[in-house]
């Protein structure tokens, strides 16, 4: 069985401290071999101070922003003082990524270009140094260690670009260095190829894109008994996981389903399910999280729901200060008794919401509870044109689930109209069924409500 994230982070913090002579010289808490929460928070503040000074001295973007706000490195005396500093917005990363860079371009180990939400989102470029990549690779296996043993875990990875130098490759390398065995597959592979690898390698954990794992399960559950394959945990990431999706996967595989939350801007790995309370714990060693009112930007008290804001600390190439993630969640003291904050599961994004025009909003997670409860559904696409809401549902191969199409459409209509925001609005609903594989070319994109052309 794995260990909780707090144990992993405290152990990693101890390693970082022992390699940092400057911190050792100034630290108040002296038991560096066994980190407690006081020493952990002291090291976080030390890292934050260094990061703010680093970006002030080396980033054109932040130097100008700090001067506009009349703040600087001398204003950081506690972790809470981060609230004095300006926000970074996704548009900033699109327009001026070079201005964030704090090192020479020749020292960049890994530049990453990506879209914030599918191919229609904001194109952003993030830079990592070799030291940044090492820190990321130190955290990733400790996140995995929360669901499987360090010494004998076998993890099958289903992420994009796994065979190249993407995050799938980095994760595999980090797991190997931690004593785990990584089995690389790609989320673009057909289901039968993914399953052949599973049968050969016998992993105890599948880690990867929630939509891909759901799709592979739907396409193979009618052909084999998945519960006999020995997979103990499905560790899902990259997408919202509706309760109906989770329940289906648990039943099909007869195993635990856990979830992970990450952002490329913060180095991919970020938060993992707590085994005791309802929510995540996040990588507080390398990141500071806040929750703010999406409209005013004011920091909200513990337990109140708002927009997550992240600051990367200790990063070398491109630290990001107070990044507005667009994800809605809350932070609070966990009921598990651990020192790490509890972060609520993210169920909606600001950019993924669609205003129906009458004070009612729809967003992917609102639809998915109903959609993924329909047995034949593999994937979906939602779009709006005027007062018309279109839901396209990709279904499984009829050879394994032979229910008539009209019966599937009727159930879908009933479940979607039972959603108050749809059933009690002036919107007209249209449901269409698509053949298996129709939406697979778009499965890497984050879900959002599109304007229908």
Q: Find tokens 């960049």 and name the residue.
A: 108
Q: Which two tokens stand for residue 453?
A: 């052309």
Compute the mean pLDDT over every residue in the chain, rounded to the nearest whole number. 91
DSSP class of residue 163?
Answer: T
Q: Which pLDDT score, from 0 to 100, does residue 187 have?
A: 81
Q: Which pLDDT score, from 0 to 100, does residue 121 have?
A: 53
DSSP class of residue 118?
Answer: T
Pairing of strands 181-186, 123-129: unpaired
Answer whether residue 10 is part of any domain: no
Answer whether residue 306 is part of any domain: no
Residue 323 neighbours by CB distance under 10 Å: 21
Check if the beta carbon of residue 300 is closer than 8 Å to that of residue 331: no
Ranked by mean pLDDT, the top range of 101-115, 117-131, 259-273 is 259-273
Q: Which pLDDT score, from 0 to 100, does residue 92 have?
A: 93
Q: Is the pLDDT of residue 235 over 70?
A: yes
Q: Which pLDDT score, from 0 to 100, does residue 55 have?
A: 98
Q: Which pLDDT score, from 0 to 100, does residue 450 have?
A: 85
Q: Which pLDDT score, from 0 to 100, does residue 381 have?
A: 95
Answer whether residue 389 is part of any domain: yes
Check if the beta carbon of residue 136 is closer than 8 Å to that of residue 128: yes
Q: Which pLDDT score, from 0 to 100, does residue 117 have?
A: 44
pLDDT in tens, 371-419: 999 999 999 999 999 889 999 999 998 766 768 999 999 999 999 999 9
Alpha-carbon distance of 249 to 143, in angstroms, equals 21
Alpha-carbon distance of 104 to 87, in angstroms, equals 24
Q: Which of 319, 327, 258 is nearest to 288 (CA)?
A: 319
CA-based torsion, 343, 345, 351, 357: positive or negative: negative
Check if the beta carbon of residue 267 is closer than 8 Å to that of residue 323: no
Q: Is the pLDDT of residue 123 over 80?
A: no
What are the residues whose beta carbons fall under 8 Å from the beta carbon of 265, sequence distance 6 or more?
A: 93, 124, 126, 310, 312, 320, 323, 325
Q: Which two tokens stand for residue 355?
A: 């205003």
104-113, 257-266, 312-321, 332-341: segment of lowest average pLDDT: 104-113
Q: What percent of the chain has pLDDT over 70?
A: 95
- CB environment 168-183: b (16+ within 10 A), e (fewer): bbbbbbbbeebebebb
Mean pLDDT (whole number) for 345-354: 85
Answer whether residue 144 is part of any domain: no
pLDDT in tens, 41-78: 999 999 999 999 999 999 999 999 999 999 999 999 99
Alpha-carbon distance of 341 to 343, in angstroms, equals 6
Using 50, 70 and 90 to split pLDDT, how confident is the model at 115? low
3-12, 87-96, 110-119, 162-171: segment of lowest average pLDDT: 110-119
Alpha-carbon distance of 290 to 356, in angstroms, equals 29
Q: Which pLDDT score, from 0 to 100, does residue 166 have?
A: 74
Answer whether residue 368 is part of any domain: yes
Look at 117 and 450; give whichever has higher pLDDT.
450
Provide the 3-class DSSP secondary structure of residue 57.
helix
Alpha-carbon distance of 110 to 2, in angstroms, equals 30
pLDDT in tens, 292-323: 999 999 999 999 999 999 999 999 999 999 99
26-35, 278-287, 329-338, 394-403: segment of lowest average pLDDT: 394-403
Using 50, 70 and 90 to split pLDDT, how confident is the model at 361? confident
User: Can you give the residue range of the structural domain that contains 383?
Assistant: 353-451
Answer whether residue 361 is part of any domain: yes
Look at 267 and 74; give whichever has higher pLDDT.
74
CATH of the domain at 425: 3.30.300.30
**Beta bridge partners of residue 342, listed in sequence order:** 332
pLDDT in tens, 163-211: 556 788 889 999 999 999 999 988 888 999 999 999 999 999 999 999 9
Q: What percent of the chain has pLDDT over 90?
A: 74
Per the structure, the count of domains in the chain is 1
Q: Could you write out the DSSP letters of every residue in 375-443?
A: TTEEEEEEEEETTEEEEEEEE--TTT----HHHHHHHHHHHHHTSHHHHTSS-EEEEEEE-TTTTGGGT
Mean pLDDT (whole number) for 17-33: 92
Instruction: Using a cut of 0.75, tell me whether the model's pTM lies above it.
Output: yes
CA-based torsion, 206, 211, 216, 221: positive or negative: positive
Q: Which pLDDT score, from 0 to 100, does residue 325 have?
A: 95
Q: Which pLDDT score, from 0 to 100, does residue 371 have?
A: 97
Answer whether residue 174 is part of any domain: no
Q: What are phi and psi of 390, to 5 degrees?
A: -110, 130
Check if the beta carbon of residue 208 is closer than 8 Å to that of residue 198: no
Using 50, 70 and 90 to split pLDDT, how confident is the model at 120? very low
Q: Which of 175, 247, 164, 174 is nearest to 205 (CA)?
A: 175
Answer whether residue 106 is part of any domain: no
Using 50, 70 and 90 to split pLDDT, how confident is the model at 118? very low
Using 50, 70 and 90 to split pLDDT, how confident is the model at 253? very high
């Amino acid at each position: 069985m794995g260990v909780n994230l707090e144990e992993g982070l405290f152990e990693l913090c101890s390693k970082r401290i022992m390699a940092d002579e400057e911190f050792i010289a100034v630290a108040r808490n002296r038991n560096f071999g066994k980190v407690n929460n006081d020493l952990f928070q002291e090291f976080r503040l030390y890292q934050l101070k260094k990061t703010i000074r680093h970006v002030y001295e080396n980033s054109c973007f932040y130097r100008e922003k700090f001067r506009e706000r009349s703040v600087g490195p001398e204003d950081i005396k506690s972790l809470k003082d981060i609230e004095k500093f300006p926000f970074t917005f996704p548009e900033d990363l699109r327009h001026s990524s070079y201005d964030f860079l704090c090192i020479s371009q020749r020292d960049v180990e890994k530049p990453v270009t990506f879209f914030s939400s599918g191919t229609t989102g904001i194109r952003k470029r993030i830079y990592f140094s070799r030291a940044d990549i090492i820190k990321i690779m130190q955290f990733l296996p400790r996140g995995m260690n929360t669901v499987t043993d360090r010494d004998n875990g076998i993890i099958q990875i289903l992420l994009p670009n796994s065979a190249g130098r993407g995050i799938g490759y980095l994760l595999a390398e980090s797991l190997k260095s931690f004593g785990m065995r990584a089995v690389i597959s790609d989320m673009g592979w057909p289901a039968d190829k993914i399953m052949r690898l599973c049968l050969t390698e016998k992993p105890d954990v599948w880690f990867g894109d929630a939509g891909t794992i759901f799709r592979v399960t739907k396409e193979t559950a009618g052909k084999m008994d998945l519960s006999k394959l020995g997979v103990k945990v499905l560790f899902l990431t990259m997408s919202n996981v509706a309760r109906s999706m989770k329940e289906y996967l648990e039943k099909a595989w007869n195993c635990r389903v856990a979830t992970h939350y990450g952002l490329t801007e913060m180095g991919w790995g970020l938060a993992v399910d707590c085994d005791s309370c309802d929510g995540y714990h996040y990588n507080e060693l390398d990141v500071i999280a806040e929750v703010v009112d999406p409209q005013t930007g004011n920091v909200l008290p513990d337990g109140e729901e708002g927009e997550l804001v992240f600051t990367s600390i200790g990063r070398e190439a491109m630290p990001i200060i107070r990044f507005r993630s667009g994800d809605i969640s809350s932070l609070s003291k966990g009921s598990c008794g651990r020192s790490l904050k509890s972060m609520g599961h993210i169920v909606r994004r600001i950019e993924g919401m669609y205003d129906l025009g009458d004070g009612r909003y729809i967003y992917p997670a609102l639809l998915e509870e109903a959609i993924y409860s329909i047995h034949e559904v593999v994937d979906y696409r939602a779009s709006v044109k005027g007062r018309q809401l279109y839901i396209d549902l990709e279904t499984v191969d009829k050879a394994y689930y032979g229910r008539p199409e009209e019966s599937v459409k009727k159930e879908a209509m009933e479940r979607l109209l039972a959603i108050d925001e749809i059933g009690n609005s002036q919107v007209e609903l249209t449901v269409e069924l698509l053949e298996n594989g129709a939406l697979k070319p778009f499965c890497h994109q984050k879900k959002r409500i599109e304007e229908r052309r």
